Every structure is written in structure tokens, then in C-alpha cells.
Amino acid sequence: MHITKHVGIIGGNGWLGNAMAAAVARGLVAPEMLTLSCRSGERGKDPIAGAYWTRDNAELAARSEIIVL
């Protein structure tokens, strides 16, 4: 199965959000289809090459068809 929609994960740099992002980027969603937000501006423990990072959740929502909180 492969999701072709843009996916946004709020809190993509936290331990749970980053783990989910890394897992889906390994075959479920292309990394280029991921938008990850983080308040601190720091990226998560598991960097996801190709994913878009933002500090603005409104921007994440505008770029995403599916949002994970």
C-alpha cells in the first residue's frame, strides 16, 4: 500500500511524531509528500531526507491533505 496524498505530522520532531514520520517514509508515503512541524525548529532524532519542515502549523495544514496530531 502506498499513500499518494500529502501528509502533515504536527510535532514531527518529538519522539512519537518523528518515529511515525520515519516509519511512513520507509514505504507508505514518499518523503517528499511529508510536511513535519516543530515548535523548536530542531529536527527529530531520525532525519527524514526529502521531508519539508516548518515551525508554522497553519503552513503544515495548507500543504497537507491528511494531518496527524
Residue 38 belongs to some domain of the structure: yes
Residue 15 belongs to some domain of the structure: yes
Residue 60 belongs to some domain of the structure: yes
Contact predicate 33/58, CB 8 Å: no
pLDDT tens track for 1-33: 688 999 999 988 888 999 999 999 998 999 999
pTM, 2 dp? 0.87
> Residue 46 is part of which domain span?
7-68
Res 41: pLDDT: 65
Alpha helices in 1-69 (DSSP H): 15-24, 57-63
Our count of domains for the chain comes to: 1
